[in-house]
Structure formats: structure tokens, C-alpha cells
Amino acid sequence: MPSEATVTITVKLFASFRRGRFKEASRDYSAGARIADVIADLGIEPKDIGMIFVDGKHADPDRALRAGEALALFPLLGGG
């Protein structure tokens, strides 16, 4: 249940990160939670992280999340 001590964000997972997890979910985290905490909470190895976007812009793992933000996590991917 959201309260002053939590932030609600949307978490979006892509490619192999979806396996055993989800595509998109609304999640509550304690206020001040960093992206790295979300990654750990999802059981994703930090070394497997390719790209982190918050609201469509690059973000660092030690950035704290704010209410209403959309966090997108991708493994290392490429193409042409």
C-alpha cells in the first residue's frame, strides 16, 4: 500500500530479462530506493545490465527513483 515512505514506479523489462519475470509492472519501493536496489530485488545480476532508462533517458544505477517514473531495463543488445 503506497504511503509517504514509498514511491510507486513502473518497471519495464525487455528481451531475456522477461524470462521468469514480467513485461511491465507497477511496483512500490521505499522512498530513496535506487535503481540498483530494484535490479537486486528483481534478481538480475548487475553485470548483465546493458541499458537503464528512466522516462526514456539514460540513468545510472545509483540514482534514486521518484514517484511516477518509468524504469526500463535491457540486457546488452544490438542490431543495425
Partner 1 sequence: MVKIIRVNMTDRTVRVEPVPEAWLGLGGRALTSTIVAAEVPPTCHPLGPSNKLVFAPGLLSGTPAANSGRCSAGAKSPLTGGIKESNAGGTASRFLARLGIHALIIEGKPSGEGWFGLRINNNGAVLEEETETIGKGNFAVLEALNRRWGEEIGVITLGPPGEHMMAIANISVKDPDGKLRSFGRGGLGAVMGSKRLKFIAVDDSEGSNVPLVDRKAFLAASQRFAKTLIDHPVSGQGLPTYGTAVLVNILNEIGGLPTRNFTSGQYADHDKISGETMHDTIVARGGEPTHNCSLGCQIQCSQVFPDKDGKYVTSGFEYETIWALGADCCINDLDVIAEADSIMDDLGVDSIETSVMFGVAMEAGVLPFGDGQGVLRLLREEIGKATPLGRILGGGTAAVGRAYGVTRVPVVKGQAIPAYDPRSVKGIGVTYATTTMGADHTAGYAVATNVLNVGGKVDPLKNEGQVELSRNLQIATAAIDSTGLCLFIAFPALDIPDCLASVIDMINARYGIKLTGDDVVALGKKTLKTERAFNLAAGIGPEQDRLPEFFELEKIAPHDVAWDMPTEELQSFWKGFGD
Q: Does 63 bind partner 1 (CB under 8 A)?
A: no
Q: What is the DSSP string of 27-56?
A: EEEETT-BHHHHHHHTT--GGGEEEEEETT
**Do the strands 6-13 and 24-30 form a parallel or antiparallel pair, or are they unpaired?**
antiparallel
Nearer to partner 1, 1 or 46 (CB): 46
Give the one residue of 20, 43, 46, 78 binding partner 1; rule: CB under 8 A: 78
Question: Mask 21-60, x = binds partner 1 (CB under 8 A)?
Answer: ---------------------------x-xx-x-xxxx--
Of 31, 32, 14, nearest in space to 23 by CA: 14
Q: Which three cell numbers stand for residue 54?
A: 528512466
Q: What are the residues binding partner 1 (CB under 8 A)?
A: 12, 14-16, 18, 48, 50-51, 53, 55-58, 72, 74-80
